[in-house]
Amino acid sequence: MLEGFESHTVDVKGTEIAYVKKGTGPAVLMLHGFPQTKAMWSRIAPTLAEHFTVVCADLRGYGDSAHPPCLPDASNYSFRAMAADQVGLMHALGFEQFHLIGHDRGARTAHRLALDHPSAVLSLTVMDIVPTTELFLNVTRHIAGAYWHWFFLSQPAPFPERMIGADPDFFYETCLLGWGGAKLSDFDADQLADYRRAWRKPSMIQGSCGDYRAAASVDLANDQADISTQVQCPSLVFYGEHGVMNKLYDIPAQWRSRLSKMQSASLPGGHFFPDMRPAETAKILLDFVTHHSL
């Protein structure tokens, strides 16, 4: 999928994390969201790899990383656990510090990583999200209608797993098309094939459910505890102009109290604007990371 990138796995305290890597110079870690894999960066990462060492990793529970059984309290699928995986991966690759880019669940993992491991993060980019506390604690009928999957996936096992398992392509493709008017043709065919390959695995179905169960419990508690803690590194809030998130929220305003050195950017498109506009996305990311590498 990522031509010219090395592909490996690293054991991080008993959890296998899959990644690809290419380039030289300062490190950039790129984290995908739901229901995707590291393949989402296939048309973006090569541009950054011309100037940086780029690592694209699968979150635990997704893609080719480990899909451990969800613990009763879902803590092993928390953003804290996912962030620790990625710090461990980067340390194993020899990087104590790195630029951090995340979309969707990867952005929530990235925000938690910047809170828990601030010395590791040179810059932070969060793509098309608002803070978890805002989404859960100020729910309206419009938010619940648009982000129904947050509440469905967090239901106790095995209810969502069995429902999704009956037709994984229908369920996950409904998610891909539901947050900003995207069409399947907006997604690269090879990338979409990789998403399907991954989400058809029963273990990834339960992994994605574990992710959302943790968000509704342990992640919410962790974020409430850190609600007044600011990320101090340079940060970019990047979002789709036509997406549901931007219709429901003033996205930059949601982040101003959380990120001390924040700037924002947007592109036409919905939640999956990186898939729809990879070249423009890559340019904005490259410009931001380059500026904060000088």
Which residues carry out catalysis? 104, 271
The dihedral built from the CA positions of residue 194, 195, 200 and 203, taken in this order, carries a sign that is positive
H-helix or E-strand spanning residue 204: helix 202-214
The dihedral built from the CA positions of residue 192, 194, 197 and 202, taken in this order, carries a sign that is negative
What does DSSP say about strands 27-31 and 53-57: parallel, antiparallel, or unpaired? parallel
CA gyration radius, the chain: 17
- Residues 6 or more apart whose CB falls under 8 angstroms from that of 144 comprise 151
- From CA 150, how far away is CA 160, in angstroms rounded? 11
Maximum pairwise Cα distance, the chain: 51
Count H helices and E strands in the chain, helices first. Answer: 15, 8
Per DSSP (E only), the strands in 15-68 are: 15-22, 27-31, 53-57
- From CA 292, how far away is CA 233, in angstroms rounded? 10
